[in-house]
A and B are shown apart, each in its own frame.
Chain A
């Protein structure tokens, strides 16, 4: 495990070093492909950080806020779907249909309706999160080993008890799969909204910096966006390992 990580980091480092040497050697201009050092300068130089970090914070707020809202709504809908078949039968065609709508395409509409502030970006992030959480949570809440069902039935268990004793813990591995997919999509959603017209955020930085051919800044913004997604993902992975301590049944 640690060996894999070390190897991956080593490869990354080699890539950076060779790019640092190769880009000037081939005479590639900085606005096409900046050297790694110029990107790092954007991230590490205190004078230049001012133009980066607040935007990263803004995207983090929009992305994680949207993620929390989206995953809560997704899990809540999953609970309703699983317990009220009529609602599920009525709404699941809608869910499937909505899933096929390219969410990127509705970003301009959201801006029109909710303005170019934090709210729009959070809504966008939430929309990206809802579906993977909903779909995976429904699957998790549904699945249960028939033998366990038999056992609990023989104890004359109530539906409410069955939910706490079996369904909820059983659904957790599936729920975390949905959350992990949702977490990276949430950051993506926030950035997409920022592309479409915002005055803050990494998406905004990317749009502006490419406009001015300040490509090192673009790369720095991309790096920060990746780090955001990655840390949210790792946070969830850690949480998953902590909560689900038992081995998954075969």
Chain B
């Protein structure tokens, strides 16, 4: 099911028997149950499942935003907390979460200045990143002057600016309209093909998962368990034409089938 030892690149992420529950008034609510999988460096993995199945919680635990309760998670052979301290992981959330009092440029530079990068390097990297997402002309614009799609591109540039080894995306395009979403999915693939960061991408859109990922992990309804771990058999680079191809449709249908087994 996983690449195992034979893989040339070491496992970037490993999850062993991870379980998670939230305390509620009526006892503990189990959110994730015994999750185990590995992600190779440079792999693009989509996590898909019904709402409330714990995929977001898994992402937040991986990024060190939630404490690990049971099991073991390693990020580049570090605990999530260590990986966070070493700035190995980076988030993109459903909303862009830009600071409204900073320009696009200042928002992208924020993690760099927090990490103490020297000014010259910071400026250069910020410029490169804005160019990468096609917003160099909007460097001085404030978030409220940008469209939702542009804001999310700034968030993406910011997330990649400090060159994390793992990118955690939590339904980053779900708040956008269809056209912007398709465009940004394509952009994400283009950017990712340049730097090949390891990606965990949480989504509940089947088509999005198939279009973007190398591999799809299907989760059951709460408590989330791994139902399937499938490789996406589509060549790269992938373009929007692919969305109309038969093989794309077949893989979408396959994932739908897994998900229907859930309900």
| Interface residues, chain A, with chain B CB atoms under 8 Å away | 145, 147-148, 150-157, 161, 165-166, 169, 245-247, 249
Contact = CB atoms under 8 A, between A and B. Distances in A.
A246 B64 CA distance: 31
Contacts of B100: 246-247, 249
Contacts, number: 52
A153 B143 CA distance: 21
Contact of B89 (A154, A245, A247): A154
Contacts of A148: 97, 99
A153 B110 CA distance: 13
Interface of B: 60, 63-65, 84-85, 87, 89-91, 93, 95, 97, 99-101, 110-111, 114-115, 142-144
A222 B260 CA distance: 76
B107 to A, nearest CB: 10
Contact of B93 (A151, A157, A246, A249): A151
A240 B215 CA distance: 51
A145 B85 CA distance: 22
A165 B142 contact: no
22 contacts: A145-B97, A147-B97, A150-B91, A150-B97, A151-B97, A152-B114, A154-B63, A154-B64, A154-B65, A154-B84, A154-B90, A155-B110, A155-B115, A156-B87, A161-B114, A165-B110, A165-B114, A169-B101, A246-B101, A246-B143, A246-B144, A247-B100
B87 A165 contact: no
Contacts of A147: 93, 95, 97
A47 to B, nearest CB: 52
A150 B99 contact: no
Given A151-B97, A152-B114, A246-B101, 4 more contacts: A151-B91, A156-B84, A247-B100, A249-B100
Contacts of B144: 246-247
Q: Which 7 A-B pairs rank lowest in CB-CB distance, beginning with the nearest?
A: A246-B100, A169-B101, A147-B97, A155-B111, A154-B91, A151-B97, A155-B114
